[in-house]
């Protein structure tokens, strides 16, 4: 048995497609749907090649199923297991309660085990990640032959709250922008001092004073705060979903 298009679809959805080589967080050159074999800086592929790489990369997961699973599997269960093993590794699968239950014919119990594998180490601590929770949900639904959108998110796997997703911290960032805007007059008041210093200083102070004395300065400062806030927000979102 080989993985079907339904199985490949789930893997593609959660691995994401990159047509140019990039370094993963572990420092390994990667391309396509998580392909790492013989990838070098500057490599570029198309979507068809990425799919071919993926089909080759899942062969190990397929062999693991043939070697360890002792019960007959329908295509949808085989597909779900390929995606699962491709993500967690053959070693973790071989020692899992999921495998033990399945080999005893307890498919319902095995399906329920998927949701336990939604954690990764973030700063040394095992933490539930939303990206993994969604993937385990899709795999469990496929394993149980449900529609992928039938089941809600797993209640037992709460998402990790990122620093900038909390209302408190969002208010802090937004409030910071408001404070900057409201202090525009105060900033303007400082300009006289800067000008006074610039009269006695050199070219550098003159140029610096000119920038600060510009009517655009408050807007530039606000823009910097917004950009920094967005960068922090996106970074924390990555940590929240993928532990990166």
| Average pLDDT in the chain | 78
pLDDT digits (tens, 9 = 90+) for 62-71: 999 999 999 9
Residue 126 located in a structural domain? yes
Residue 155 located in a structural domain? no
Q: What are the residues facing 20 on neighbouring strands?
A: 44
DSSP track, 139-162: HHHHHTT--TTTS---TTSPPPPP
The residue behind tokens 């037992």 is 156
pLDDT digits (tens, 9 = 90+) for 132-163: 999 999 999 999 998 655 443 333 333 333 34
Mean pLDDT in residue range 42-58:
97
* 142 to 5, 68, 104, 196, 227: CA distances (angstroms): 12, 20, 20, 72, 40
pLDDT digits (tens, 9 = 90+) for 88-123: 999 999 999 999 999 999 999 999 999 999 999 888
Residue 125 banded pLDDT, cuts 50, 70, 90: very high
CA 27 to chain centre: 16
Confirm whether 15 is a catalytic residue: yes
Residue 151 located in a structural domain? no
218 phi-psi bin (left φ>0, alpha ψ -120 to 50, beta other): alpha
Distance CA 158, CA 127 (A): 10
Percent of the chain clearing pLDDT 70 (strictly above): 61
The encoded tokens of residue 26 equal: 């572990």
Q: Which domain holds residue 96?
A: 5-143
Choose the weakest-confidence range: 28-42, 55-69, 162-176, 188-202: 162-176
Catalytic-role residue among 24, 63, 74, 108 = 24
CATH number at residue 92: 1.10.530.40
**Do 140 and 114 touch, CB atoms closer than 8 A?**
yes
pLDDT digits (tens, 9 = 90+) for 174-212: 444 444 444 445 445 544 554 554 455 555 445 555 555
Confirm whether 24 is a catalytic residue: yes
φ/ψ (deg, to 5) at 204: -60, -45
Residue 26 located in a structural domain? yes
Final residue of a domain: which of 128, 143, 158?
A: 143
Distance CA 131, CA 238 (A): 9
Distance CA 177, CA 168 (A): 15
Residues 136 and 201 in one domain: no
């Amino acid at each position: 048995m080989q993985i079907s298009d339904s199985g490949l679809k789930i893997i593609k959805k959660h691995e994401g497609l990159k047509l140019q080589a990039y370094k993963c967080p572990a420092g390994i050159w990667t391309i396509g749907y998580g392909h790492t074999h013989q990838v070098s800086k500057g490599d570029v592929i198309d979507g068809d090649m990425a799919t071919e790489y993926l089909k080759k990369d899942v062969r190990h997961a397929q062999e693991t199923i043939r070697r360890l699973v002792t019960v007959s599997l329908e295509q949808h269960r085989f597909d779900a297991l390929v995606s699962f093993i491709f993500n967690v590794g053959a070693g973790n699968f071989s020692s899992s309660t999921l495998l033990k239950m399945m080999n005893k014919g307890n498919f319902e119990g095995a399906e329920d085990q998927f949701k336990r594998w939604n954690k990764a180490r973030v700063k040394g601590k095992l933490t539930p990640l939303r990206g993994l929770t969604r993937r385990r949900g899709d795999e469990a639904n496929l394993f149980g032959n449900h529609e992928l959108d039938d089941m809600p998110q797993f209640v037992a796997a709460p998402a990790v709250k990122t620093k900038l997703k909390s209302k408190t911290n969002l208010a802090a960032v937004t409030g910071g922008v408001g404070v900057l805007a409201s202090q525009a007059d105060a900033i303007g008041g400082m300009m006289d001092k800067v000008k006074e210093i610039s009269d006695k200083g050199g070219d550098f102070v003159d140029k610096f004073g000119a920038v600060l004395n510009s009517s655009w300065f408050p807007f530039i400062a606000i823009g910097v705060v917004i950009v920094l806030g967005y960068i922090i927000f996106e970074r924390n979102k990555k940590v929240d979903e993928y532990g990166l």
